[in-house]
Structure formats: C-alpha cells, structure tokens
C-alpha cells in the first residue's frame, strides 16, 4: 500500500465572497469518487511537476475546478491523519481567498457537477471528508484577521463607498460595527484612496464618496 510510505498531499481552498450583505463560501459538488455527489471545498492533489509550491497548487485548483484566477490566497494550516480520506494517509493544506463577486464568475469545470455560493451563517448539509471542520478553521482565521483591523479590500469592487466597506466587515464578523469608530480607524489607513467622485445612482439622499484600494496594498495586521 503506497500510502504507508507516501501520504496523499492535497490543497483545499475556502473561497469567500460577500453578496447581499452576507458572507458566502463557494462549494463544489464532487463528480468523482470518493464522496461523489457530496459538496466540498474546491481543491485537489498537489502536482509536483506543475506546481511551484503549495500556494501555486491552490491557485491552480481554483482555475481547474471553477475557472477563477485568484492572485492572493492565504495559508491557514494543515489537517492530517490516516482516516480522513478513504484513499489513505493524507494531508490537506488549507487556504482561504477572497473574491469580489461582481468582477469574476465561477463556473463548473473539471470533476465538478455543480457549484454553489452558500451562506456561512446558515446550517449546512454535511460536507465531504472533514471539509466542515476546515471551513470552520478558515472562517475563524479570516475573522481574526478582520478583528485585528485588516481591511478586506480583496473583497471589494474597483470603486466602493466606506459604508459598503463597513457592511462587508460586518458580514464577515457577523456583528454590527460603530460607524464613527470604523471611519476614525480608516483615517489612519494608507491603503484607501479617495477618488473624489460621488455615488450618483441611488437618488433622494446624500451621495457617498467613492474610494479605491491603493495598488499593492497589504492585507495585513
């Protein structure tokens, strides 16, 4: 049995997005055994011949399974053990990534029957393998980062208002934030650029300023 010498090395990605003020994660329905027909995080086996490193493998799997090119993926950690995959001793290296929903669209591709954006808040059907645990880990990592004042600019469209940014943070943390404290904090950020343009489409109210992310901003803290 090969798995007694060499573990299966997998990458899995929790791809988050915000739609309608709710944090969602992309799930794919597996077309192949094991766990065919069950919903899972997109991911797959490392291919040493193709991949420059594990992060590159994660990005490649996103391209292959849902045709998305995500530049920034962030490592969360690993889960490992002999029984978590029926194919034998395995390691999954977990990543998360952020997608601005209006710019890119995930589509069904290789070895996937269907894809779906699922609210992370809602009770969910059981996922394939231990992907339920992995999703919880990725969500916790993302929330801790936002709670430490990192700005989820990777989730925002080209232009956005400060209110929209606040609503995105609220969707991630699943709790309301104080507007004045939130904005006071933003004043210290060098990653936001005031475009000087105003939102004009919503009518019958004061228009908001548009901002964009500074090119090469860092998703840190």
Judged by beta carbon, residue 107 or residue 195, the one nearer DNA is 195
Closest distance of CB 133 from a second copy, Å: 13
Interatomic CA distance for residues 65 and 116, integer angstroms: 13
- What is the contact surface with a second copy in residues (CB under 8 A)? 2-7, 9, 46, 48-49, 52-54, 75, 77-82, 88-89, 91, 93
Residue 89 binding target from DNA, a second copy, none, CB below 5 to 8 Å by type: a second copy
**Which of 47, 72, 105, 184 touches DNA (CB under 7 A)?**
184
DSSP string, 107-127: ---TTEEEEEEEESSS--PPP
Residue 162 binding target from DNA, a second copy, none, CB below 5 to 8 Å by type: DNA
Q: Is 173 in the site for DNA (CB under 7 A)?
A: no
Closest distance of CB 4 from a second copy, Å: 5
Cα angle for residues 144, 150, 152 (degrees, 5° grid): 100
Distances in Å between the alpha carbon of 139 and those of 148, 154, 192?
Answer: 14, 16, 25
Tell me, what DSSP letter sits at residue 189? -
């Amino acid at each position: 049995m090969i798995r007694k010498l060499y573990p299966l090395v997998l990458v899995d990605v929790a791809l988050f997005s915000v739609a309608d003020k709710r944090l969602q994660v992309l799930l794919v329905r597996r077309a192949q055994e094991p766990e065919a027909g069950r919903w899972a995080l997109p991911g797959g086996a490392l291919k040493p011949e193709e991949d420059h490193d594990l992060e590159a493998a994660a990005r490649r799997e996103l391209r292959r399974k849902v045709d998305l090119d995500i530049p920034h993926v962030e490592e969360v950690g690993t889960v490992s053990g002999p029984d978590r995959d029926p194919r034998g001793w395995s390691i999954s290296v977990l990543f998360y990534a952020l997608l601005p929903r209006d710019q890119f669209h995930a589509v069904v591709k290789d070895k996937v029957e269907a894809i779906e954006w699922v609210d992370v808040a809602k009770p969910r059907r059981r996922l394939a393998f231990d992907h339920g645990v992995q999703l919880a880990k990725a969500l916790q990592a993302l929330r801790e980062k936002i709670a430490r004042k990192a700005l989820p600019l990777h989730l925002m469209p080209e232009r956005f208002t400060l209110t929209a940014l606040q609503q995105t943070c609220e969707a991630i943390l699943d709790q309301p934030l104080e507007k004045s404290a939130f904005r006071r904090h933003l004043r210290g950020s060098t990653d936001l650029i005031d475009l000087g343009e105003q939102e004009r489409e919503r009518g019958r109210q004061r228009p908001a300023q548009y901002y964009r992310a500074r090119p090469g901003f860092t998703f840190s803290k």
